[in-house]
Structures are given as C-alpha cells and as structure tokens.
Amino acid sequence: MKIFLVGYMASGKTTCGKQLATKIDFKFIDLDDYIESREGMEVTRIFETKGEIYFRKIETYYLKELKRFDERIVVSVGGGTPCYGNNLQLLLNGTDDVVIYLKASVNELVQRLTIAKNDRPLVSHLKSSESLSEFVGKHLFERNNYYLQADTTIFVDNKTPRIVVREIIDVLF
C-alpha cells in the first residue's frame, strides 16, 4: 500500500505524513527531498539552473519510481505535483494506493505561511498579508479541481497534526 498526501503548501503534508508513517509503521518519503537526493541539488537550485520544465519532467519520473516501490510508504508530494502532466492519474492509478487531500482554507494557509514565509521561496517575496492571501487564493482556486479528485479529503483547519493523523487512520483502516 502507498499513501499519497496532496494539498497546498503548508497544509501539513510533511508533518502529518511523518507522524502517519510512524503510527502505521510505513516508510515516509517527501517527494521534494527524494528528488533532491537523487539529483544532488536542492529543488530551488534545480528551478534556477535547469528551469521548471526540467523539474516537472523529473518530478514525474521520480513519482513513477516511487509508485514502483515494493514497500509500504507514505509520500508527501509537492503542492503542484498533481497539477502537472499526468501526475494526478499516476497518483490515482494503483490497486492499493490511496490519495488523501489535506484541505485547508485560504485563511488557515495564510496564517501558517505567515509564520514560515521565509522558508517558502514561492511566497517569501510577498510583503503584506493581503498579497499573500491573494496569491494563495488564486493558486488554491487553480489547483483545487486537481486536489478534489483525491480518494479522500481531510479538512485540517484548526486541527493538530495528531488529530489529522487520527482522522486519516480512521478513513484507511
């Protein structure tokens, strides 16, 4: 079985994914970290030196590689992963694979991103909470149709990672 967590940045995919994997005795993999280890370069550096098209191609390549793993894994994918190429179909096609959308409201995401804005290159340049809110709202609107095709949606607003993980386990088992 493979569990893929999708959702916008700061929705809790990595935090909840690590806790979920520990709780159910699966291996945890963050797709961006996996790409960095395989490419020998940080994702931001890949974007800078090779461009987004190259990144999206290797993202699909490594996603396919993870799909072939013969292990029980929880995978946190990048916020844009399901929205490019045939990645969503890759995620959804698999006998024992489950795709879970960690859904957060724009307000929740803005609160979370405001705290960690400097760690997020995509939004670090935004100066005001209004510009951050507008940016997140626009992106979430564009991506929501992809996310909503997940097998299950878990609402994460005002919930601790522990509660979200419990809800995921309740859905899965």
Average pLDDT over residues 84-92: 95
Label residue 10 left, alpha or beta by phi (over 0 means left) and psi (-120 to 50 means alpha): left
Beta carbons of 147 and 6 less than 8 angstroms apart = yes
CATH match of 2-166 with 3.30.70.270: no
Q: Structure tokens of 107?
A: 């307000």
At residue 83, does pLDDT exceed 90?
yes
CA 172 to centroid of chain Cα atoms:
18
Please report the pLDDT score of residue 44 as a whole number. Answer: 84
Q: Would you call 125 helix, strand, or coil by DSSP?
A: coil
Residues 78, 127: Cα–Cα separation, whole Å? 23
Residue 24: how many other CB atoms lie within 10 Å: 16
Q: What is the pLDDT of residue 106?
A: 95
Q: What is the DSSP letter of 121?
A: T
Q: Which pLDDT tens digit goes with each residue over 120-159?
A: 656 666 777 888 889 889 999 999 999 999 999 999 999 9
Domain range annotation of the chain: 2-166
CA-derived radius of gyration, the chain: 15
Residue 76: name the closest of 146, 150, 4 by CA: 4
Mean pLDDT over each residue of the chain, to the nearest integer:
92
- Torsion sign, CA atoms 3, 6, 12, 13: positive
CA distance 114 to 124: 9
Check the CA dihedral 58-17-148-108 and report its sign: negative
